């Protein structure tokens, strides 16, 4: 057998912009805002306690809280604008998740590389009827994929469909 390593014509490759991404549930945006509020609240309380313990001048606390407020507003804008740039797609041989409006990223994994899957729900996610389907691959954790902001029903259907596909191809 003779070794061959022919060059691939890049123009013939499938284009990733032709993928039809499904939008996430709008309640995922609400979840992100709640998580941001919780984070800012914890930082505010911790900063206030630190201020009381160390007896810093009041203007230090005011500056700290003003910076936190600006951080909150900036992240709120990022969540609102960035939400429309998130989505997922499941094709016959691969799964994709896109995110980001400043730094855009599309994570793709082949279905045949999936080792196992799990559905996760936090307390707030359950209240908002959201799930996260986590797909684990054979590589390290950087090659795993989490489909966030989907309904529990969609997560279960995708898990079942991918399991059947993996078992069929094995």
Q: What is the CATH number of the domain that holds 160?
A: 2.30.29.30
**pLDDT at site 11:** 80
Query: Could you tell me if residue 17 is inside a domain?
Result: no
Q: What is the pLDDT of residues 5-64, one digit of tens each?
A: 888 888 877 666 678 999 999 999 999 999 999 999 999 999 889 888 887 888 888 999
Verdict on whether the full-model pTM lies above 0.85: no
What total number of domains does the chain contain?
2
Of 39, 168, 45, the closest CA to residue 111 belongs to 168
Between CA 106 and CA 93 the distance in angstroms is 16
**pLDDT at site 17:** 65
**How many Cβ atoms sit within 10 Å of the Cβ of residue 14?**
8
Instruction: Kindly state whether residues 72 and 106 are assigned to the same domain.
Output: no
Last residue of a domain, one of 82, 106, 126: 82
More confident residue, 143 or 109: 109
Instruction: Kindly state whether residues 126 and 158 are assigned to the same domain.
Output: yes
Q: What is the pLDDT of residues 74-106, one digit of tens each?
A: 999 999 999 999 999 999 889 999 998 888 898
Any idea which of 108-112, 136-140, 158-162 has the lowest mean pLDDT? 136-140
Instruction: Kindly state whether residues 95 and 149 are assigned to the same domain.
Output: yes
Of 127, 129, 123, the closest CA to residue 149 belongs to 129
Sheet strand arrangement including 131-137: 114-120, 131-137, 145-150
Domain that includes residue 96, residue range = 86-169
């Amino acid at each position: 057998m003779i070794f061959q390593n022919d060059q691939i014509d890049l123009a013939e490759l499938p284009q990733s912009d032709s993928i039809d991404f499904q939008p996430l549930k709008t309640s995922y945006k609400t979840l992100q805002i709640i998580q941001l509020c919780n984070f800012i609240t914890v930082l505010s309380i911790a900063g206030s306690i630190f201020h009381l313990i160390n007896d810093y001048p009041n203007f230090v606390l005011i500056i700290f809280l003003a910076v936190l407020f600006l951080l909150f507003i900036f992240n709120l804008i990022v969540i609102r604008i960035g939400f429309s740039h998130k989505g997922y797609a499941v094709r016959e041989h691969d799964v994709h998740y896109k995110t980001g409006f400043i730094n855009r990223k599309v994570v793709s994994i082949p279905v045949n590389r999936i080792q196992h899957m799990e559905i996760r729900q936090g307390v707030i996610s359950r209240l908002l009827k959201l799930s996260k389907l986590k797909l684990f691959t054979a590589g390290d954790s950087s090659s795993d994929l989490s489909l966030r902001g989907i309904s529990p029903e969609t997560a279960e259907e995708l898990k079942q469909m991918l399991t059947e596909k993996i078992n069929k191809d094995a």
